Structure 1
Amino acid sequence: MKITKILPVVFSLLLVSPVFAQQKNTFKPQKAVLNTISANIMDADAQYKYLAKQIKPEEFPKTFHPETGKMENSNSGWWCSGFYPGTLLELYGQNHDEALKTEADRIMGVLAKEQFNTHTHDLGFMMYCSFGTANKLQPKPEYKQILLNSAKSLSTRFNPTVGCIKSWDSKKSDFLVIIDNMMNLELLFWATRETGDSSFYKIAVTHANTTIKNHYRPGFSSYHVINYNAETGAVQEKKTAQGFANESAWARGQAWGLYGFTVMYRETKDKKYLDQANNIAKFLLNNPNLPADKIPYWDFNATNIPNALRDASAAAIMASALLELCRYTGKTDAQTYFKTGETIIKTLSLPTYKAKPETNGGFILQHSVGHFPAGTEIDVPLTYADYYFVEAMERYKGFAGK
């Protein structure tokens, strides 16, 4: 990779962004919700200690099947491997329970080798949610090196002709990119800040720009998968893998986009990304198929609504994204986003979604949907639902100065 140093003036320009001017919005967290969050964090601490007992030393929790009472775990190469240590660390940051930090350190020792994995686009999920969280809590040179190696590995999947990072390896004529990949760009921004090497930054921006151009429909819903020609960059297919249909709005995919473009604005201060995030948010929040409790159906166009399954993971991602986006946008939208994030936290805290202690395999939330068309991870707990739920609660507490 060619090393290009970012001029200091670039960083100084980023510091005088409109984001700070827009933080005049006053948000008033409800005391009752703050109390609920405190209880949730205590319960989650106990749950994750219980969850730690359900896995073998080299395993990562994947899901739990309530109908059979069986755990399903994975190895470190599974795209969700970073969420378990990430959640442990986020909880540790809230309650300082050393047992959580000890378990996170142990499992990150198993995960560390994935820093050299060049066969996945999910290194942001895997390594930034884990080692990135650890480095925020307690910076260490070894964490930074692992993260930098991860960013380098992720960058090898970038094709400048296509203008994207490849998501899934496939036949040579395909170059598959999924909307989920927006979530892995934060790692690249971190790498540029840490090293001054603008190559990572340029890859992230190019990928995001290509995604705006090709993934989004006029109404700001997103396709799940775009298949490009690797040699020409031409779009060959627009389709789904995990959604209901090629032209449907798969709920978690819409949430990934919302979160991803919010991060893009935070990291670049480029208004086009703020506009994109706002437009995605309005597609979601104004959608006639979004239930009043703000927990979306697994696909906004599922044909059996209102009897379609809900997806707690999509809701948790939405809540976390909205509780950041509300800091950057105009007052009216900001209040809507804040209140929606608050509503999602309140709903997910109810017994319908929040599991009882030492049930649900040790996961915090119930009722997520992984890959409905494939018949896998349907109406089960998922590690990323827990991760973004905890993150959303942290962000809500931040408005109260906690």
Structure 2
Amino acid sequence: MWQKALENAIAKTRRNIERFGDQFPHVSKEDKYLLNPNTDWTNGFWSGILWLCYEYSGDEIFRNAARKTVDSFRNRLDHHINLDHHDIGFLYSLSSKAQWMIERDPKAKELTLAAADVFMKRWRPEMEILQAWGPEGNEQNGGRIIIDCLLNLPLLYWAYEVTGNQQYLEAAISQADKTRRFIVRGDDSSYHTFYFNQTTGEAIRGGTHQGYEDGSTWTRGQAWGIYGFVLSYYYTKNPLYLETSVRMAKYFIERLPKDHVVYWDFDAPVTPDTKRDSSASAITVCGLHELLKYLPENHPEKAFLQEGMEKSMHGLVKSYSTISEPDAQGLIKRGSYSVRSGNSPDDFVIWGDYYYLEALMRLDNGHKGYWYDRPQGMSE
């Protein structure tokens, strides 16, 4: 039932290859993607879109374009271009790791492991966290974690499984545990960020960078939590991660608006001008699809979560996709980068397009994205 939407997304991506050339799409302005030469945290999502399109269609045009992006990511790592942040997982899981999963190219595996080592430079042993942004010791960001990091952790889990190096695993588990303890609130909502004392590791306070206010729940952050915790469950089998994903998912679905695509923050006042974040709903659909695989049929929330996933996906396709706009560059409208700062608050965002396409692939043929993979010779 999702074939029309998939075919439409693939046709748009084919046209975008020529439009974008060697550049990478980020967010849009006046319905056209702003491009960069692989310098932003979002560039891996374009690679992931290309690999998904190749796997669905088998068309070499997508594989050739995806391989070129991996070459660009190799150059980015070699020259350490804007890698002083935790989004290394977003960059390399969807580019070189995806290539490894699809083609078993040993050079792609080597590049991905090198990226994991760059990510590990974010580890701060005094606090037992992976610092989100900025240099070590930075006054503003030195002790900060953010919920987005949960989707970067699969790079470290994967690196552990490939190498057996416990340091990758221990860092990922510590980060997931800290996020669960300090970012997820008692009512199953979430902070965007949390601060720790850089010397003692003492917890200081929760806050936000993207949300409506420090105590609100930024919907994309909640979505990262839903998907991120279930991926940590996949790798560790820690039932607390699965439970947390279920709780956060229930909170999310209980607050869906009538068209089933969320506003940018659950606590922002709703007016005719309140911005949406279609990317948050797309991420959540992917997370719910993964989550439902691990819940027994008699789980008390399974039917509710299943219905919420289906309603969210139908809402995205019906009211937010660009199916009826053949010349559109983006796949889903009304994504928000940062409503708080006025930065692309109601536009195409490349991560929204990626997760929308991953969600379609999941629902159409059971694709699992590029967040986990078992090395050859290991059973899943």
Residue 296 of structure 1: CA displacement? 0.6
Which residue pairs with 2:182 in the alignment? 214
Structure-to-structure mapping, 1:146-165, within 5 angstroms: 146-165=111-130
Which residue pairs with 1:395 in the alignment? 362
| Contact 1:180–1:256 (Cα < 8 Å) also in 2 | yes
Query: CA–CA distance in 1 between the matches of 2:76 and 2:167?
Result: 21
Report the 3-state secondary structure (helix = DSSP H, G, I; strand = E; otherwise coil) of the residue aligned with 1:377: coil
Which residue pairs with 2:238 in the alignment? 270
Query: CA–CA distance in 2 between the matches of 1:123 and 1:352?
Result: 29
Query: CA–CA distance in 2 between the matches of 1:236 and 1:113?
Result: 38
Which deviations, in whole Å up to 9, do the C-alpha atoms of 1:166-215 show, x marking residues without a partner? 00116633322111011100001110111111210111001111111111
Residue 367 of structure 1: CA displacement? 0.8
Which residue pairs with 1:131 in the alignment? 96
Matched residue pairs, number?
359
Determine whether 1:61 maps to 2:61.
no
Residue 372 of structure 1: CA displacement? 0.8
Which residue pairs with 1:320 in the alignment? 286
Which residue pairs with 2:377 in the alignment? none
Amino acid at match of 1:63: V
| Contact 2:92–2:112 (Cα < 8 Å) also in 1 | yes
Query: CA–CA distance in 1 between the matches of 2:230 and 2:258?
Result: 24
Query: CA–CA distance in 1 between the matches of 2:184 and 2:89?
Result: 22
Amino acid at match of 1:390: L
Report the 3-state secondary structure (helix = DSSP H, G, I; strand = E; otherwise coil) of the residue aligned with 1:61: strand
Which deviations, in whole Å up to 9, do the C-alpha atoms of 1:331-359 show, x marking residues without a partner? 34223222222222222112543354543
Which residue pairs with 2:223 in the alignment? 255
Amino acid at match of 1:363: G
Identical columns (%): 27
Which residue pairs with 1:98 in the alignment? 60
Structure 1 stretches of 5 or more lacking a match?
A: 1-33
Query: CA–CA distance in 1 between the matches of 2:305 and 2:287?
Result: 9
Determine whether 1:110 maps to 2:110.
no
Q: 1:73 aligns with which of 35, 43, 56?
A: 35
Which deviations, in whole Å up to 9, do the C-alpha atoms of 1:38-79 show, x marking residues without a partner? 11221111111222223242x21112223xx54311232311
Query: CA–CA distance in 2 between the matches of 1:146 and 1:329?
Result: 35
Residue 306 of structure 1: CA displacement? 6.1
Query: CA–CA distance in 2 between the matches of 1:45 and 1:221?
Result: 35
Which residue pairs with 1:303 in the alignment? 269
| Contact 1:342–1:396 (Cα < 8 Å) also in 2 | no
Distance change >3 Å, CA 336–CA 398, structure 1 → 2: farther
Amino acid at match of 1:99: I
Query: CA–CA distance in 2 between the matches of 1:278 and 1:380?
Result: 29
Report the 3-state secondary structure (helix = DSSP H, G, I; strand = E; otherwise coil) of the residue aligned with 1:78: coil
| Contact 2:74–2:111 (Cα < 8 Å) also in 1 | yes
Residue 114 of structure 1: CA displacement? 3.5
Determine whether 1:244 maps to 2:212.
yes
Query: CA–CA distance in 2 between the matches of 1:356 and 1:108?
Result: 32
Q: After the TM superposition, which of the residue ranges 169-178 and 383-392 deviates more from structure 2?
A: 169-178
Amino acid at match of 2:71: G
| Contact 1:320–1:392 (Cα < 8 Å) also in 2 | yes
Which deviations, in whole Å up to 9, do the C-alpha atoms of 1:243-288 show, x marking residues without a partner? 110000000000001110010111111111111111111111223x
Residue 394 of structure 1: CA displacement? 1.7
Determine whether 1:383 maps to 2:347.
no
Which residue pairs with 1:5 in the alignment? none
Report the 3-state secondary structure (helix = DSSP H, G, I; strand = E; otherwise coil) of the residue aligned with 1:77: coil
Report the 3-state secondary structure (helix = DSSP H, G, I; strand = E; otherwise coil) of the residue aligned with 2:27: strand
Amino acid at match of 1:235: A
Distance change >3 Å, CA 281–CA 366, structure 1 → 2: same
Structure-to-structure mapping, 1:165-176, within 5 angstroms: 165-169=130-134, 172-173=138-139, 174-176=142-144
Report the 3-state secondary structure (helix = DSSP H, G, I; strand = E; otherwise coil) of the residue aligned with 2:344: strand
Amino acid at match of 1:315: S
Q: 2:168 aligns with which of 195, 200, 206?
A: 200
How large is the RMSD of aligned CA atoms in angstroms?
1.8
Q: TM-score, normalised by structure 2?
A: 0.90
Query: CA–CA distance in 2 between the matches of 1:243 and 1:71?
Result: 24
Structure 2 stretches of 5 or more lacking a match?
A: 368-380
